[in-house]
Amino acid sequence: MTDTVKINRGLKGVYFERSGVSHIDGAKGELTYRGYSIHDLATQSTFEEVAYLLIHGELPDAQQLADFDARLKSARHLPPAILDIISACQDGHPMDVLRTAVSALAALEPASRETGEEAFIENGIRLTSQVPMIVAAHEAIRNGRAPTAADPDLGHAANWLWMLKDEKPSTDAARLADVDFILHAEHGSNASSFAARVTVGTEANLHGAIVTALATLAGPAHGGAAEDVMKMVHEIGKPENAAAYVKQKRANREAVTGFGHRVYRAEDPRARHMRDGVRKLGEEMGAPEWYEILQAVVEAMQPYARHGLNVNVDFYSGVIYQLHGIPMDLYVPIFAIGRMPGWVIQCIEQQRKNILIRPLTLYDGPDTRAYVPIEQR
Ligand SMILES: CC(=O)SCCNC(=O)CCNC(=O)[C@H](O)C(C)(C)COP(=O)(O)OP(=O)(O)OC[C@H]1O[C@@H](n2cnc3c(N)ncnc32)[C@H](O)[C@@H]1OP(=O)(O)O
Ligand SMILES: O=C([O-])CC(=O)C(=O)O
């Protein structure tokens, strides 16, 4: 029996469900949300439109978008107790603070305990607005200032930057954040979305599933990569050091962060938009060296590209945040802000034809044996 069972470690290559939300062609390096190319959405859409598309299945018309936008804006409130909780754990990593605050919202807002599709949509929209508020409030509190109130005249991305820095963002900065959120909004059965589905599979509520997703996103093999890429860029210091850095990593058989993906064998299509953003922003801000270091790493990794090892979405995003003066430990929370609609719709899909997700592990421990009382061990 043990010899005949095929084990798919890490569930590599296993289909566990059907999904109508996003499609990844890993060989070609293509990604679509509900059939629309990520390139069209990144260049022509807004985060609000993309969130509507993901959750409701179609692009909104002008009235539908206005209504959806009004729903998002009217959800820009946090119970005062959340600010106390953020204050109490302000020295923690922002991802731990965010996860704790979302968990506390489940206890503080009775509506969050409801299940069913309408409740998931309502709670999902509310959380999509609250997650960026929590991240911004934490940044304010740990820097000794009162959280900035939301501005109803600003869209989702611009309002987040406004609350984060207590400064009105430029149109370009707001658009860059908007594009970043669009690119991160959904990605099939990635680790955090799968984990959220496992939670919904037990008929738990959406807040519980989002807490699971946040915990899973935080690791360096998933959403934590952007922070690690920035640390790598600092460690490399100048472009001419990149080749030696990569050589050493490969010699130690260590992963070069920001490269590799479970599904893509061609370049992650999202990286293109980030790369363009880093190059342009670096030139505009008189700081082209970050882009040059990244490109020197790409150059040094060329021999491995043949084997399908390419940059992923997180390779370039850290430098964009750094050029905007955003602290490194906020990079994963930024990913979470963008991923909210993706998690929400994955949870809704799971709930529509719910099934407990419970695979098997093949036992390879000791044979059955006699219990030995403690005094005889
Ligand atoms: C938003 C996201 O979550 S994107 C991913 C963000 N994570 C990172 O950037 C961290 C660095 N990358 C990694 O650790 C990995 O690429 C993962 C965890 C993302 C995917 O891992 P896997 O699915 O196991 O990758 P895969 O099976 O394709 O690996 C194939 C080979 O490439 C190697 N490889 C994969 N990624 C890297 C990397 N970043 N650097 C060097 N080698 C790598 C593997 O070690 C493996 O080599 P082997 O066949 O000699 O054992
Ligand atoms: O799909 C994955 O495995 C990881 C990823 O790129 C994402 O979640 O955006």
Tokens of 38: 């990520």
Distances (CA, A) of 136 to 65, 119, 120, 153, 155: 25, 26, 24, 17, 15
186: nearest Cα among 307, 34, 17, 357: 34
Residues β-bridged to residue 311: 259
User: Any alpha helices (H) in the chain, and if so which ranges?
Assistant: 38-44, 47-56, 62-74, 80-88, 94-108, 117-142, 156-165, 171-184, 191-201, 206-217, 225-236, 242-251, 271-284, 289-305, 314-323, 331-352
Q: What's the CATH number where 266 sits? A: 1.10.230.10
pTM score: 0.96
Residues β-bridged to residue 25: 30
DSSP of 251-308: HTTPPPTTB--SS-SS--TTHHHHHHHHHHHHHHTT-THHHHHHHHHHHHHHHHHTTT
Range of the domain at 269: 225-323
ipTM over 0.90: yes
30-33 vs 22-25, strand pairing mode: antiparallel
Query: Do 231 and 170 share a structural domain?
Result: no
Query: Do 98 and 69 share a structural domain?
Result: yes
- Structure letter (DSSP) for residue 111: G
Query: Do 236 and 95 share a structural domain?
Result: no
Q: How far apart are CA 216 and CA 231, in angstroms?
A: 21
- Structure letter (DSSP) for residue 370: -
What's the pLDDT score for residue 1?
54
Query: Do 343 and 314 share a structural domain?
Result: no
pLDDT less than 70: residues of the chain:
1-2
What's the pLDDT score for residue 373?
98
pLDDT, tens only, 129-138:
999 999 999 9
**Residue 261 is a catalytic residue:** yes
Is the CB of 34 inside a 6 Å radius of any atom of ligand 2? no
Sign of CA dihedral 232, 233, 238, 241: positive
Q: What's the CATH number where 132 sits? A: 1.10.580.10
Query: Which of 227, 259, 316, 334 should be mutated for ligand 1, with most atoms under 8 A from CB?
Result: 259
Query: Do 215 and 149 share a structural domain?
Result: yes
Residues β-bridged to residue 36: 33
Query: Do 147 and 277 share a structural domain?
Result: no
Query: Do 130 and 37 share a structural domain?
Result: yes
pLDDT, tens only, 146-188:
999 999 999 999 999 999 999 999 998 899 999 999 999 999 9
17 close to 126: Cβ distance less than 8 angstroms: no
**Residue 40 is a catalytic residue:** no
Using the atom order of ligand 1, give the atom closest to the CA of residue 255.
40
- Please list, in sequence order, all residues whose beta carbon lies within 8 angstroms of the beta carbon of residue 127, skipping any fewer than 6 positions away: 102, 105, 206, 207, 210, 340, 344
Query: Do 179 and 318 share a structural domain?
Result: no
Q: Which residues line ligand 1 (CB under 6 A)?
A: 221-223, 225, 255-262, 309, 312-314
